Amino acid sequence: MADTFKLDLIQRPRRLRRTASLRALTEETVLRPANFIAPLFVVEGRGAPQPIASMPGVSRLNLNDLVKECRALAKLGIPAIALFPKLDAKLKNEEGTMALHEDGLILRAVRAVKKAVPELTVVTDIALDPYTTHGHDGVLNATGTDVENDRTVAILAKMSVLHARAGVDLVAPSDMMDGRVIAIRKTLDAAGFSETGIMAYSAKFASAYYGPFRDAVGSAQAAGTRLLGKATYQLNPANRRAAVIEAIIDVAEGADIVMIKPAGPYLDIIRDVRVAVKKPVAAYQVSGEYAQIHAAAKLGWLDLARCRHESLLAIKRAGADIILTYFAREMAAELR
């Protein structure tokens, strides 16, 4: 005999989940290709793309291949890229002096992309870790035990002007030095680049999720370890209030966009910063987040397409306006 029991309910939230069209009509968070920035790695020479073992589907690209990739991304509706150089170890030293070379790899990459795909927004990393033999984001003090804040900031400000002159739309200081945003803003303005924006890595945590990225840019090999400690300048993963303070300071110093990095393990921080500031909020789904989804999918434990979509949806739902992700190309193709 069929069960005829029926609840006497006025509120039945499942009504709005009953059909695909109802679910679409009431969807609160929507991902678009325009939400994404695609991080790209660039190398010297004319060789074939160099696959990064710890980041399936991601390769270092020569300048010609970089331009081809940028054209493809633009056609998919992705509005921006973030460039990261992989330098030959012979070009690195303790001071990271190649960061100030006027015809360095990253500057040639910027000029090539802006010439070929002028509508694409180009973001460049402002930090010294790809250029130093020790793999830190700045220059070390006399004892070699810590990054020297003010001397590093002076270098980063000069670096920002070189990038602006090459045509960069947004410089992105990722070093976490105190006072670097205001120093960069003042230096850019004084050099006539008041239109160049700053996307500050405002809440960059001393995370264990950066290992594959360090492989990609070669800072892991330079330091001799993927576990290089940066706790004296990157944020303590235990701290929420400190992240909000950093974002507020960066906005006050002239940041146009603030960023949280990593993204997925720090959704609470994204939400806190979104509430605290009025500027656009970016979040970086870092290499380790990308790699772990791929690794689990390869083992058959997770559905790659569904997990990448859900992971990015969660980041946007938490409050991110902009998402840097290595899934950008695949997601843009899927969404379109």
145 by Cβ neighbours in 10 Å (0-12 / 13-18 / 19+) ranks as exposed
Q: 86, 114, 261, 279: which is the annotated catalytic residue?
A: 261
Q: What span, in angstroms and rounded, lies between the C-alpha atoms of 289 and 264?
A: 7
245 by Cβ neighbours in 10 Å (0-12 / 13-18 / 19+) ranks as middle
Q: 204, 230, 279, 316: which is the annotated catalytic residue?
A: 204
- Per DSSP, 265 falls in state G
Q: What span, in angstroms and rounded, lies between the C-alpha atoms of 69 and 27?
A: 32
Q: What span, in angstroms and rounded, lies between the C-alpha atoms of 257 and 280?
A: 5
- Per DSSP, 56 falls in state T
Q: Which residues are within 8 A (CB) of 55 and not within 5 positions of it... i.e. 6 or more apart?
A: 212, 213, 215, 216, 287, 290, 291, 294, 326
333 by Cβ neighbours in 10 Å (0-12 / 13-18 / 19+) ranks as middle
- Bridge partners, residue 257, by sequence: 199
The closest of 80, 38, 72, 287 to 197, measured between CA atoms, is 80
Q: Give the residue ranges of DSSP H helices in 132-281.
A: 149-166, 180-190, 211-217, 219-223, 241-252, 267-276
Are 201 and 259 a contacting pair, CB within 8 Å?
A: yes
Are 235 and 242 a contacting pair, CB within 8 Å?
A: yes
For the record, the structure tokens of 92 come out as 């690195």
| Catalytic-residue membership of 261 | yes
Alpha-carbon dihedral sign for residues 68, 71, 56, 283: positive
Residues with active-site annotation: 204, 261
